[in-house]
Amino acid sequence: MARIMLPPPRTQGSIGLEAAMAGRRSLRAFGPHSISLADFGQLLWAAQGVTQADGRRAAPSAGALYPLEIIAAVGTVDELPPGLYRYHADSHGIELLADGDHRAALAAAALNQAWMADAAVLFAVTAVAGRTAARYGERAGRYVLLEAGHAAQNLCLQAVALGMGVTVVAAFDDGAVIRLLRLGPDELPLCLLSAGCP
């Protein structure tokens, strides 16, 4: 499947890190506003984007093995049809996995937290833990969870800097989310993030 290239990420913002941290709060009431394709790409980049020529990313990873994947259930993003998209950090592009709006189905899989379906995008942080386990064995699980926290916080802070809100959700039916996101047998969902404008 062809990749859709996203606008280049920005490395200068309008607010400082301290202001973003002070403003980070969970948001569970989203307005009907869409978000721009550039801002959508910026959120993906903040979570797992490449920041150095050698492939190093915005969030730290044990041994630079990068077990995390990001899948977006897009509802209202300018210039992008609703669908499930997998982020490819190496090209800062996305790949369409499935057409259609999957937000309500994901909200239902998240123990019927219906408010999630109103977010412009639902992001899923997933992991292929075997990438890390090949080097670190039994400690890999701990490292992968730490990495998911780093990526989720990056996305949260970037959202604040863009005037959006995010809520991190870890209460969901694993099997339902795996089926909805079309994950392979070696990939597990770790958390969902609802992102949009108030």
- Contact (CB, 8 A) for 187 and 126: yes
What pLDDT shows up at residue 108? Answer: 98
pLDDT (0 to 100) of residue 30: 87
**pLDDT for residue 19:** 78
Name the average pLDDT for the chain: 95
Give me the residues paired with residue 189 across strands. Answer: 126
DSSP-derived secondary structure letter, 76: S
pLDDT of residue 1: 64
**Is the pLDDT score of 21 beyond 80?**
no
- Give the three-state DSSP class for 110: coil
Class of domain 22-122+130-196: alpha beta
- Residues 6+ away with beta carbon under 8 Å from 41: 6, 7, 9, 92
Question: Residue 156: phi, psi to the nearest 5?
Answer: -60, -45
The domain locations on the chain are 22-122+130-196
Distance, CA of 12 to CA of 192 (rounded, Å): 26
User: pLDDT by residue (tens digit) across 26-63?
Assistant: 878 888 889 999 999 999 999 999 999 999 999 999 99
Residue 83's pLDDT is what?
Answer: 98
Both structure tokens of 78 = 């300018």
Residue 189, CA atoms < 13 Å, CB-side half-sphere: 27
Tell me if 112 sits within 8 A of 23, measured CB to CB. Answer: no
Tokens of 156: 């949260």
